[in-house]
Amino acid sequence: MSVADLQAFLSKVSSDEALRSKLHAASGFDDIVTLAADHGHSVDKASVLRAHGEALAGASDVQLKGINSWGDALMHAFGATDAD
């Protein structure tokens, strides 16, 4: 898995409302990995967790308080939002 593949998946998520809803409904990283694979992206849990942790480390408390799901957290970590 590469960060580029994860970003490609999130780009698809930001332009597909049904896929975004599925990501928001994810109950954990295993669901996210499966969802990405179902849409043709090679994403593994360890790499997602590592990239996710690194991206969120610099987030403000206000930004972190706005995260309400695993999908929100992942989208925030890579700069994808519902407004994209």
Rg of the chain in Å (alpha carbons): 12
CA distance 43 to 1: 5
Best mean pLDDT range from 4-8, 27-31, 34-38: 34-38
Q: How many CB atoms lie within 10 A of CB 73?
A: 19
| Contact of 71 with 14, CB cutoff 8 Å | no
pLDDT digits (tens, 9 = 90+) for 30-75: 888 899 999 999 988 887 788 778 778 888 888 888 888 777 777 7
Query: CB-based burial of residue 65 (10 Å sphere; 0-12 exposed, 13-18 middle, 19+ buried)?
Result: exposed
Structure tokens at 64: 């972190």
pTM passes above 0.75: no
